[in-house]
Structure 1
Amino acid sequence: MKDNGMVIIGAGETGARAAAGLREQGWTGAITLIGEESHAPYERPPLSKQVLQEAGEPSPAYIVTAEKLKEQRIDFIHGSKAASIDRNNHIVAIGDGRQFRYERLLLATGARPRMLQLPDSGSGASQASNIRYLRSYADALALRSRLQPGQRVAIIGGGFIGLEVAASARYQGCAVTVIEAGPRILMRGVPESIGRVVEARHRGEGVSFKLNAGIQAIESAESESIITFTDGEALAFDVILAGIGAVPDTVLASGCGLTIENGIAVDERLCTSDPDIFAAGDCCSFPHPLYGGMRIRLEAWRNAQEQGTHAAGSMLGSTEAYSAVPWFWSDQYDLTLQVTGLPHTARTTVHRSLGATGDLYFHLADGYRLAAASAIGRNGIAKDIRLAEMLIASQAALDPVQLAAPDIKLRSLLTINA
């Protein structure tokens, strides 16, 4: 048994930021960081982009090295899966039998890819066995080895991950088809007008799309796989990747009786139903004060960072509520797409042309309160999205006419509503 003051399960973005945050915020006691992978904590966004595209041998984009963790006196237990949590005795057990006692525990277990389920001849559904997923560095390396010129690649799912991989596969000279069950790509959280721009850019690079597509079966035939669709069409591919979302990893949390609600349910401080256990990042759902306490779960790089740091403060006794405005981004070819806030909570949308830079959309809730903003362009949209983020945080009522006018600077609206 090892006596450890603070234990963190999950050595990804959130867990690494939390460990660093504990030290930065004054904790001098023991910290144990437990991770399933053999690597030190690394960034996941490059997995669908740089790792797949680099000409030379890639390496993980480390958040922090094992040496730096050692310098910070953080006990890094890598290549080990946490097996159980004994809440009564404050003990975490890992698969090899070792146990760690905690004063406070953070669950930063993240999410896992949603598995593609296919109809079968019986009463249930079957999981396709010849499908690739992208979540870890090992997944990216395995996929990278298959993205050779001329390979026929099917991307199931027209969301951020699927489209980023589609762009990377085209960069490597593959023939790419994006298969989407819905009527358009980027159905979740992105305006249709932006989705059209992204689709047109992909088509311009030679990507094919099959929309409103239902998959009946996927079968292996020698060195290829055949996808049969519900409309009767059958297409052959060399590589199939499913990017159809992720599900929060709540196995440990549910196993020890914590409340689960679209992830591990936490309060505004990121504390679970156990006062000594916290959760942060992709694995948790939390009430957001800017949206009337609506419980949300975010799968986003910056949220993982910010919640990790916030959770560290809460573990040390801070009572501050987590209220950061959500922010997402995606790079595809020479296009950058950014979204701040929650577009699905809005009732109307206002468009502002940024000229050659791109297009900006304001998503307004009741009372003309800015609920979200989204933008797409080639350069320069980040500044406008950052100002929109500040306007969202201000929760002020805004004039749609002013929002639409390119000659009215967003910063002036921020000053008026300060």
Structure 2
Amino acid sequence: MTDTVSDGEASDGKTDAGMVIVGAGECGARAALALREAGYAGPVTLLDAEAHDPYERPPLSKDAILAETPVPKGIGGAERLAEAGIAFRRSRKAHAIDRARKTVVCDDGSELPYERLLIATGARPRPLPGNDRGAEAPNVVTLRTLDDAARIRAALGPGKRLAVIGGGFIGLELAASARRLGAEVTVIEALPRLLSRAVPEEIAAVLHERHAAEGARILTGARVAGIEEAGVALADGTTVAADLIVVGIGAMPNVELAEEAGLALENGVAVDATLASSDPDIFAAGDCCSVPMPLYDGRRVRLESWRSAQEQGGLAARNMLGAGETVSAVPWFWSDQYDLTLQIAGLADGAGSHVRREGKDGAFLIFHLAPDGRLLSASGIGPGNAVAKEIRLAEMLIARRATPDPQALADPGVNLKKLL
């Protein structure tokens, strides 16, 4: 597969200084296109270590697993990038940043001069501590890329045994997909319940019950002692038999490029509210960076979110052109498992109280309020889009720093729109 070469790249392979983006995931690809949408006519180069056209990652644990052959959901294919005058270099890794010369050095020795640089290198799966067999064990995998999804899909089917280490979003979505394919599934979670850091206990309980009803085995409070050829050895002396083991215990930001360049780090590349790093000509966005959130008293947060990657990609592009906009979007997350959809708006950290609001067909929402009454977050679960409208309205309330009446929030007869 060859590179997509378009405006900005000369015949000798060198590129005039312009905008360079490292990472062609959701954030990087959207940023490249956003530069053109904002009217930038100079050179734009998009650099990515993967061999594929830019694609979305959320379907990897769902639709891509359910398909006989995983098919990516594209963001901006080679043709679209070329039409936009974007030089897309796939299978090319950024090796170093020379800040003095304002140049990105690639793994093939080529150099890309930049006027502004965006680091959108994303994150990678956190390795399993104490895995004495090593990451190269043939039956131990992670899920982050299209190639990972293809490898997992090939190992699933009726009678196959899958062990998922980690009861977070990715692990549970994969477990649901594997059950639909007829595989035997065991989810191993070290903490007392699923999704301990992500959702209220009531919502986690619904998901636990649903996975169990679908035939998945859920083990909470289960510590992994090691990986064996037969499966996963637990601290209580038992072994979970598995043909395939997927480790899903979180992600680590890819900051090596930024770190070697001497940029400030704090749970990712430390950026300000405009997504500028400690070097004013270098921006960072998406899963690899942490940003102070004005809505949450400037608390620095690293968001691993599809929507945040989209929003930050566009924001970074505009600010690379001098817009000076600050982060204002409310964090938003979602997960599909079986016929249930979970949606979350905002961040619940620092909440002093919460209220529950019942919906139709078993759906419900949990609202978290700050001690001063301000709405901080809303989490909801139900079949299909049962909670989508109310989560969207809650998102608007959070953005306006609203202090709604808790009784009104809890009353399903009160239209949340009236609280805006």
Both structures adopt the same fold (TM-score exceeding 0.5): yes
Matching residue's letter, 1:267? D
Structure-1 residue corresponding to 2:91: 79
Structure-2 residue corresponding to 1:285: 290
| Partner residue of 1:50 out of 56, 63, 70 | 63
| Partner residue of 1:95 out of 107, 110, 114 | 107
| Partner residue of 1:393 out of 379, 387, 399 | 399
Structure-2 residue corresponding to 1:164: 173
CA separation in 1, counterparts of 2:232 and 2:317?
46
Structure-2 residue corresponding to 1:189: 198
Structure-1 residue corresponding to 2:3: none
Q: Is 2:231–2:245's contact at 8 Å kept on the other side of the alignment?
A: no
Q: Aligned-pair RMSD on alpha carbons?
A: 1.3
Matching residue's letter, 1:52? I
Residues 99-130 of structure 1, C-alpha deviation per residue, up to 9 Å, x if partnerless? 0000000000000000001176xxxx966734
Structure-2 residue corresponding to 1:33: 46
Query: Counterpart of 1:356 in 2: which secondary structure?
Result: helix
Structure-2 residue corresponding to 1:297: 302
Count matched residues.
Answer: 405
Query: Counterpart of 1:310 in 2: which secondary structure?
Result: helix
Deviation at 1:215, TM superposition (A): 1.1
Q: Is 1:117–1:128's contact at 8 Å kept on the other side of the alignment?
A: no
Query: Counterpart of 2:372 in 1: which secondary structure?
Result: helix
Deviation at 1:211, TM superposition (A): 1.0
Residues 319-372 of structure 1, C-alpha deviation per residue, up to 9 Å, x if partnerless? 111110000000000000000100223121100001326001101012110000
Structure-2 residue corresponding to 1:8: 21
Query: Counterpart of 2:70 in 1: which secondary structure?
Result: coil
What does residue range 358-373 of structure 1 map to in structure 2 within 5 Å? 358-373=363-378
Q: Is 1:118–1:127's contact at 8 Å kept on the other side of the alignment?
A: no
Structure-2 residue corresponding to 1:113: 125
Matching residue's letter, 1:194? I
> Per the alignment, do residues 135 and 73 of structure 1 end up closer, same or farther by CA in structure 2, a change over 3 Å counting?
same
Residues 108-153 of structure 1, C-alpha deviation per residue, up to 9 Å, x if partnerless? 0000000001176xxxx96673411000000000000000210111
Query: Counterpart of 1:3 in 2: which secondary structure?
Result: coil
Query: Counterpart of 1:367 in 2: which secondary structure?
Result: coil
Structure 1 residue runs without a partner (length 5+): none
Is 1:146 paired with 2:155? yes
Query: Counterpart of 1:352 in 2: which secondary structure?
Result: strand
Matching residue's letter, 1:143? I
| Partner residue of 2:239 out of 234, 241, 247 | 234
Query: Counterpart of 1:103 in 2: which secondary structure?
Result: strand
Query: Counterpart of 2:349 in 1: which secondary structure?
Result: helix
CA separation in 1, counterparts of 2:369 and 2:49?
42
Residues 223-278 of structure 1, C-alpha deviation per residue, up to 9 Å, x if partnerless? xx332211111222111001100000000000000000000000000000000000
Deviation at 1:216, TM superposition (A): 1.1
Query: Counterpart of 2:417 in 1: which secondary structure?
Result: helix
Q: Is 1:357–1:381's contact at 8 Å kept on the other side of the alignment?
A: no
Q: Is 2:293–2:328's contact at 8 Å kept on the other side of the alignment?
A: yes
Query: Counterpart of 1:343 in 2: which secondary structure?
Result: coil
Structure-2 residue corresponding to 1:410: 416
Q: Is 2:360–2:386's contact at 8 Å kept on the other side of the alignment?
A: no
Query: Counterpart of 1:351 in 2: which secondary structure?
Result: strand
CA separation in 2, counterparts of 1:128 and 1:212?
27
Matching residue's letter, 1:97? G
Q: Is 1:4–1:32's contact at 8 Å kept on the other side of the alignment?
A: no
Query: Counterpart of 2:327 in 1: which secondary structure?
Result: coil
Q: Is 2:70–2:153's contact at 8 Å kept on the other side of the alignment?
A: no
CA separation in 2, counterparts of 1:59 and 1:172?
17
CA separation in 1, counterparts of 2:297 and 2:277?
20
What does residue range 129-140 of structure 1 map to in structure 2 within 5 Å? 129=137, 130-140=139-149
Q: Is 1:5–1:104's contact at 8 Å kept on the other side of the alignment?
A: yes
Residues 76-99 of structure 1, C-alpha deviation per residue, up to 9 Å, x if partnerless? 000111100000000001111110
Residues 266-324 of structure 1, C-alpha deviation per residue, up to 9 Å, x if partnerless? 00000000000000000000000000000000000000000000000110001111110
> Per the alignment, do residues 21 and 181 of structure 1 end up closer, same or farther by CA in structure 2, a change over 3 Å counting?
same
Structure 2 residue runs without a partner (length 5+): 1-13
CA separation in 2, counterparts of 1:351 and 1:174?
35
> Per the alignment, do residues 116 and 128 of structure 1 end up closer, same or farther by CA in structure 2, a change over 3 Å counting?
farther
